[in-house]
Structure 1
Amino acid sequence: MDLTRLPNDKKLQLCRWYFKVGCLLLPFVWAVNAVWFFKEAFMKPPYDEQKQIKKYVVMSATGAAVWVAALAVWVTVFQLQRVAWGPTGDSLSFIVPLGRA
């Protein structure tokens, strides 16, 4: 989609919509919102709706970064502790590796 074709109020509406959809535990949508509207928020000459777009872009980027950090922590903990968790670790695994622990 070409954002240059949209009027500023529609850009704000679309940015807000993507932020709200991301709030439904869809951090990828937040990441897309942050990347897609970054130039609108920080590179374009000032206009009335830009301040609100900046707010949604920053919140989307922050939310996506928090999700990525949480996922990285979970993957690290799971990979390091799966064997120690015994049957619980095995039941959380999609594929149980064979061999010694």
Structure 2
Amino acid sequence: MSEDEQLNICKKMFYGGFAFLPLLWLVNFLYFFNVSRKPNASKELKKYIYLSLSGCVMWFIILTTWYGVFVNKRIGWGLMADRITVVIPKGL
């Protein structure tokens, strides 16, 4: 694959990650990581690869924080929490 094709695919995957698809950022990073380690890799390609990694890590932090808050505060939020819960745990 030529460098222009790689850059084009990398850009598309990076911008596609903004559609709430953080897994696409992770795939982008993992797929192009070996390419970015080559000495002749373009700086623009490296930029999109590492921005994809940063976006994926940021989403991971946001989602795990939300999960921790929701699990610990669900009972206190009452009916509102039950409305946004897909499966309501029994017993509480």
- Unmatched runs of 5 consecutive residues or more in structure 2: none
Partner of 2:39: 45
Corresponding residue for residue 60 of structure 2: 68
**For each residue in 1:46-71, what CA deviation from the matched residue of structure 2 results, as whole angstroms up to 9, or x when unmatched?**
14xx2111000111000010001100
Task: For 1:92 and 1:23, locate their aligned partners in 2 and report how far apart those are by CA, in whole Å.
Answer: 23
In proportion to residue count, which structure has more helix?
Answer: 2
Residue of structure 1 in register with 2:9 after alignment: 14
Cα deviation, 1:31-84, whole Å, max 9, x if unaligned, reads: 11011111111x21214xx21110001110000100011000001000000000
How much does 1:20 deviate? 1.2
Flag as ranges the 4+ runs of structure 1 deviating above 6 A: none
Distance apart, 1:23 and its partner CA? 1.8
RMSD: 1.1
Aligned length in residues: 92
| TM-score for both structures, normalised by structure 2 | 0.93
| Structure with greater Cα Rg | 1
Separation in 1 of the partners of 2:87 and 2:7? 44
Q: Which amino acid aligns with 2:57?
A: A
